[in-house]
Amino acid sequence: MKTWVSALMVVAGAGLAVQACTQSLDPSGSLGAALGVNDSGIAVGWTTTGSNGPRRAVAYRDRKVVALQLLPDDVASEALSIDDQGWSAGYARSAAGVTRAVLWGSTGAISAGALQTALTPTSPGSHLVAAATALSTTAQPFLLIVGNEYQNADFSGNARAWIYHPAIVARVYLPGPPGPCVPPVCTPFVRLLVNDVAAPGWAAGSVQLDAGGTDRPVRWEAANVFQYLPLPESKTAVVAGVATSVNARGDSVGYVDLYEPGTMRRVQPRKAVLWPADSPSPVVLESGANASYAAAINDTGTIVGWVAATNSSGEETHRAAVKWRGTESPVFLEALAPSSTSEASAVSNTGKIVGTKNGRAVQFE
């Protein structure tokens, strides 16, 4: 089933442009999501045969769905990103419940040898996920892989961000905020997550300093220098946030939340944010009174994500995929309408945008 609509509209009452140009990536119409895309237009993500069925990592190439390789005892998998060399990062889970990080090559085959050994958990209580890859800009380029080690199979609880460095053929933990003790004796945080990596070694994510606490956005420079990203100031609310993506300049994007102290009730809709590498202050991206979320930024500065309508209680009702250019108003890739929901998940440096619409993998332009 092919869906292709091209139009330019204005959201009623909002004055926001809508550039609707959406193509299904899966001719079968199966449930799924496109979570990453490279400059060649190859997208990756997952598909499933039912709303409660196991997910299977796939690549979307020329409107064909290609299943990525699994080991014989794997029962579920997802591909979360793909780089311009064709490396896809994600995870696979075995029937025994062991989650290991996986790197698939351009043919869809699982990486082997020392690399896969480094991406396999070394203890039963460890679950690994590879989040993203990037090629270094050194004289002899090498592949950087980042991901997270979780305490629980559902990715809840304590977690540590890691990076794979081929020079030492091992995973090493990314540094966290300074604290009163030195790992592995103890750590001054409970969750340190990395969501993205870009050449020449920028990485972005979040840290939670105590159980049940709020997230703070973070960035790493040169893959090892920890930095807090600034949050918008508020005299009356607790401000939290997460960095979801970073580009080669070091520009990061993500979102911020404002909570009422004590009750931790959200006091305003979630807002998409840009942290420019050359500015000390965050930029809240334009979305009017709607909630918003920035999922990815490419090297040219194009940002993609979604904008959501909210009800009188502040709860999201439906979402629409959007893109931003800096502080400009968002361009809607789908109309913000109750009859449909969509999200943009990734954008390549050539401007290819993928995500989901009504629970299915799509390309927006």
Do the domain assignments include residue 284?
yes
How confident is the model at residue 120, as a pLDDT? Answer: 87
Q: What is the mean pLDDT of residues 199-214?
A: 89
In a domain, 97, yes or no: yes
pLDDT tens, residue by residue, 227-240: 999 999 898 999 99
CATH of the domain at 111: 2.130.10
Does the residue 326 lie in any domain?
no
Over residues 246-265, mean pLDDT: 93
> Could you tell me if residue 164 is inside a domain?
yes
318, with CB counted inside 10 A (0-12, 13-18, 19+), is middle
Alpha-carbon distances, residue 71 vs 75, 76, 95, 133 (angstroms): 9, 10, 11, 22
- Average of per-residue pLDDT across 94-112: 92
Residue-wise pLDDT for 263-298, tens only, equals 888 888 999 999 999 988 999 999 988 999 999 999
User: Which structural domain range is residue 89 located in?
Assistant: 44-294
C-alpha–C-alpha distance, residues 97 and 104, integer Å: 20
CB 36 within 8 Å of CB 80: yes
Residue 3 lies in a domain: no
Two structure tokens written together for 229: 């990203």
pLDDT of the residue at 1: 32
Residue 16 confidence (pLDDT) above 60: no
Q: What pLDDT sits at residue 49?
A: 80
Token pair, residue 294, equals 């920035």
Answer yes or no: are the C-beta atoms of 145 and 161 closer than 8 Å. Answer: no
pLDDT at residue 86 in the model: 95
Residue 150 lies inside a defined structural domain of this protein: yes
| CB neighbour class for 230 (10 Å; exposed up to 12, middle 13-18, buried from 19) | middle
Please give the single-letter amino acid code of residue 16: L
pLDDT at 63: 86
Judge whether 119 and 102 are in contact, CB under 8 Å.
yes
Asked if the structure places residue 355 within a domain, the reply is: no
Q: For residue 23, tell me if it sits in a domain.
A: no
Q: How many domains does the chain have?
A: 1
